[in-house]
Structure formats: C-alpha cells, structure tokens
C-alpha cells in the first residue's frame, strides 16, 4: 500500500473507477490535463472533487494548450461539430484528439519519475469505446518500451489500464462495488452545465448505467431515442 502511483484523472467515469482501483492498490497521486477541450472547466472541477473524495493530497493540474492550437478534433475546434451518437460512422470519430494519450502519458511518466512512482494508471477503454486508436492495449505496451528506453536506467514505470477490456456497463458495476463517486464525474463532450444526452460519450454512459441496472446520478437535457 506504500507504492506511489500516478493516476490520470480526466473527471470522467472511466478515470474515476480507475482512480478507485488505484486507491485500493497503492498511494495515488492524481494528474489532470487540460488541453483546450470544450468542457475543460467542468472536467477540472470534477477532478478536484474526485481528488477531495479520495483525500489525495499530491495532485497536479497541467495544461497542454498546443493540442487546441493543433486542432483536428471537435473537442478542441468549435468549427468542427460534435455529432450526435446516431450519426457517427464507422472508424475514428471526429472527437478523437490526435495522439492525445501519448501527450498525457508523457506528462504522467515525467512526474512519476520525479516522485518515484512505479506505475501510471489510465482509464482507457478498448472494447466498448468510440474507436480511438490510442485506447488500445497494444499502444500502451509499446509506450512501456518507450519509457524503458527514454528514462533513467534505474527507472521502472509500468502503465496500468485496469478497465481497458471491460464493457462500459462492467465499469459501472465495478465502480459501484468500489464506491466510486459517479455523481462527481462528467462525460458530456458538448456542455458544461447540463449533459446533452446526445453526444457519443453521453450515449455510451447512459447505455452503460442502464445495462448495469444502476441509476445515473447526472441529469440530462435530452436522452437518445
């Protein structure tokens, strides 16, 4: 329980459950990254609330504003609309932020090396997500090789993805078992005041809670038909 762990906490439900898992396995340090996304203020507030819930004293909120300047995603470029879930086509969706998770991991690994953490936890989901290429376990396996090659010889940092092969409904069930504070999370891609209920992230969340037989504590402006 004395192992130091860096946990990437976006403020969403997947990272919240990942944080609960990490809190049961070691001494977590929470890292949040803002990058000019549409709901960055809400996500930052959720991060702080989740960190308070788990009584995490060591926390870092970083900014990667160049991701907004690079653009190419409907999360960072308001000229690109966030489509409703029923209009999404197969393949990588417009909400994909190009190579974002590599930037997040780089920040997390740098911090982990400084504070002596042995692992970085990230709430990536592969099987029941939106098709993001940087949410595959293959990506994290390869990134571990980058860590080995690019850090001090004595540094040993693994990347933990405890929910990567779970369906969203199974993540909800696991979070309920662990007492994860879902009421402090945010999933909507579009809005910071009231979840839209129509974007892909909202739709996945709503379906997950329904399939898990758990009531979603968040209110919604609308729900998928």
pLDDT in tens, 135-144: 999 999 999 9
Report the distance separating Cα 225 and Cα 219, nearest Å: 16
**Which one-letter DSSP state was computed for residue 89?**
P
> Percentage of the chain surpassing pLDDT 90?
91
- Angle of helix 13-23 versus helix 168-178 axis, rounded to 10: 40
3-state secondary structure of 200: helix
Order the strands of the 27-34 sheet from edge to edge: 59-63, 27-34, 4-8, 119-121, 158-160
Q: How does residue 225 score in pLDDT terms, banded at 50, 70 and 90?
A: low
User: What is the residue whose two structure tokens read 């309920």?
Assistant: 176
pLDDT of residue 145: 98
Q: How does residue 128 score in pLDDT terms, banded at 50, 70 and 90?
A: low
Nearest Cα neighbor of 186 from 15, 34, 8 is 15
pLDDT of residue 131: 84
Report the distance separating Cα 121 and Cα 104, nearest Å: 11
Nearest Cα neighbor of 131 from 168, 102, 90 is 90
Nearest Cα neighbor of 132 from 91, 166, 170 is 91
């Amino acid at each position: 329980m004395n192992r130091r762990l860096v946990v990437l906490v976006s403020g969403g439900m997947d990272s919240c459950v990942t944080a609960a898992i990490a809190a049961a396995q070691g001494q977590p340090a929470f890292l949040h990254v803002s990058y000019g996304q549409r709901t960055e203020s809400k996500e930052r507030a959720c991060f702080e609330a989740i960190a308070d819930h788990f009584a995490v004293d060591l926390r870092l909120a970083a900014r990667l504003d160049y991701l907004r300047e690079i653009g190419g995603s409907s999360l960072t470029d308001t000229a690109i609309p966030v489509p409703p879930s029923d209009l999404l086509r197969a393949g990588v969706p417009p909400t994909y932020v190009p190579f974002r998770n590599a930037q997040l991991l780089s920040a997390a690994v740098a911090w982990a090396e400084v504070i002596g953490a042995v692992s970085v936890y990230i709430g990536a989901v592969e099987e029941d997500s939106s098709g993001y290429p940087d949410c595959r376990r293959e990506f994290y396996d390869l990134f571990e090789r980058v860590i080995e090659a690019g850090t001090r010889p004595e540094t040993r940092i693994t990347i933990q993805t405890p929910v990567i092969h779970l369906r969203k409904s199974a993540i909800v069930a696991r979070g309920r078992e662990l007492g994860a504070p879902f009421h402090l999370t945010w999933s909507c891609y579009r809005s910071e005041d009231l979840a839209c209920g129509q974007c892909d992230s909202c739709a996945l969340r709503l379906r997950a809670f329904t399939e898990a037989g758990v009531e979603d504590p968040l209110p919604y402006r609308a729900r998928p038909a």
